[in-house]
Amino acid sequence: MTDRFAGKVAVITGGATGMGLATAKRFVQEAMDHVFITGRRRDALDRAVAEIGKNVTAVQGDVASLSDLDRLYDEVRKQNRKIDVIFANAGIAQLAPFGSVDEKFYDLHFDANVMGSSLPCKRRFRYKRRRVCHSHGVDC
């Protein structure tokens, strides 16, 4: 492993499971100073923190909620950190027969998968320092 992330701070949405969790683990392995992970389920966040082991803070919240994102960034500021990387990773993929898809189902997916990939970056701009904002491979 290299120390290419030494001294850096990341925010990873959807960081409690899957690709987000794997990324958080890798960042810490590669000497990232601190990783903030978010997710909607407290139990999954607690397991992720235990798996990652160090240099991690979990903030429960929904990426489609501006107040939850504000709470996340308030925690970053409270710890006197500056964000270098945002990995907007959270998403939902529930399957259902087309005939059963209703407005609630659509809104759940749209909010998480569309708003959730842009709002973390957009909300971050409310704070003073912009470094790297990355969402699914697209600079924002």
The answer to whether position 60 is within a domain reads yes
pLDDT digits (tens, 9 = 90+) for 25-67: 999 999 999 999 999 999 999 999 999 999 999 999 998 888 8
User: Residue 58 is part of which domain span?
Assistant: 9-139
- The tally of domains found in the chain comes to 1
Give 75-122 pLDDT, tens digit per residue: 999 999 988 988 988 877 888 898 998 998 877 777 776 766 656 655
**pLDDT tens string 120-133:** 655 555 554 444 44
* 3 assigned to some structural domain: no
The residue assigned the tokens 């704070």 is 127
Rounded Cα gap, residues 6 and 71, in angstroms: 25
The answer as to whether 122 is a domain residue is yes
**Neighbouring residues of 74: CB distance < 8 A, sequence distance ≥ 6:** none
Q: Is residue 1 domain-resident?
A: no
CATH number of the structural domain spanning residue 74:
3.40.50.720
The pTM for the full model equals 0.79
Distance CA 14, CA 92 (A): 10
